[in-house]
């Protein structure tokens, strides 16, 4: 009888902690907007609940770009953008951009600080070049939560929000735009 009571008590405590863990995470808004700080905190404080919250969800992460690299994943994604909090030395969110999700004719700088988009005329001469994404900038990246790997929150099928759309989203969520 004592063992049954002990098992029931432990089960109640475990169930209560799971409920408390799930309740501690703020729900994802309908548009999937989340700050980098919020998603990092969700995974740091309640990893299992965060996995349930974000699993397969299309989300929009707003935060600082820490590094831009050519991707070397198994899916052939050409660009990886690492978003990280200013006080962190390791990436927090790894956003993978597929070929269809990037502007054509792009390249990553050798120092991994930016990805450029360039245009050529009919003769092959470079006519225009501009930065697509730059280290240190705050931006919004929409992607599908894929997995958590070695502390990195991985998003796939990503695209960068255009400035006007991002400003509107920030305003809708009460985030100042400087």
Residue 39 in domain? yes
Pairing of strands 33-35, 58-70: parallel
Residue 12 lies in a domain: no
Domain-embedded: residue 89: yes
Which one of 7-11, 48-52, 148-152 scores highest in mean pLDDT? 48-52
The whole-number pLDDT of residue 17 equals 45
Q: Say if 123 falls within a structural domain.
A: yes
How far is residue 154's CA from residue 95's CA, in Å, rounded to a whole number?
6
Rounded to 10 degrees, what is the CA torsion of 50, 81, 133, 26?
A: 0
In a domain? residue 95: yes
Q: Residue 177 domain-assigned? A: no
Number of domains in the chain: 1
Q: What is the pTM of this model?
A: 0.76
Higher pLDDT, 81 or 1: 81
Tell me what the mean pLDDT of segment 20-36 comes to. Answer: 81
Give residue 102's pLDDT: 65
pLDDT tens digit sequence for 106-156: 666 666 676 656 556 666 666 666 677 788 899 999 999 999 988 889 999
In a domain, 22, yes or no: no
CATH number of the domain encompassing residue 82: 2.40.50.140
Residue-range definition of the domain harbouring residue 64: 30-172
Query: Which stretch of 23-27, 62-66, 171-175 has the lowest confidence by average pLDDT?
Result: 23-27
Q: Which carries the bigger pLDDT value, residue 103 or residue 9?
A: 103
Please report the pLDDT score of residue 141 as a whole number. Answer: 95
Distance (Å, whole) CA 154 – CA 143: 9
DSSP lists the bridge partners of residue 128 as: 119
> Is 7 inside any structural domain?
no
Residue 74 has pLDDT above 70, yes or no: no
Torsion of CA 146, 65, 41, 34, to 10 degrees: -70
Q: Are 43 and 16 in contact (CB under 8 A)?
A: no
């Amino acid at each position: 009888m004592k063992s049954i009571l002990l098992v029931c008590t432990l089960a109640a405590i475990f169930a209560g902690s799971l409920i408390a863990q799930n309740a501690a995470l703020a729900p994802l808004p309908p548009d999937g907007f989340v700050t980098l700080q919020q998603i990092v905190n969700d995974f740091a404080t309640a990893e299992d609940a965060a996995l349930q919250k974000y699993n397969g969800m299309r989300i929009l992460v707003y935060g600082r770009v820490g590094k831009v690299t050519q991707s070397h994943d198994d899916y052939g994604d050409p660009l990886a953008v690492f978003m990280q909090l200013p006080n962190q030395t390791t990436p927090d969110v790894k956003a993978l951009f597929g070929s269809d999700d990037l502007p054509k004719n792009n390249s990553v700088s050798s120092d991994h600080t930016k990805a450029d988009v360039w245009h050529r005329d009919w003769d092959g001469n470079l006519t225009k070049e501009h930065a697509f994404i730059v280290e240190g900038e705050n931006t919004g990246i929409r992607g599908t939560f894929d997995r958590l790997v070695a502390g990195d929150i991985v998003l796939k099928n990503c695209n960068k929000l255009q400035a006007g759309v991002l400003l509107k989203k920030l305003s809708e969520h009460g985030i100042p735009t400087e």
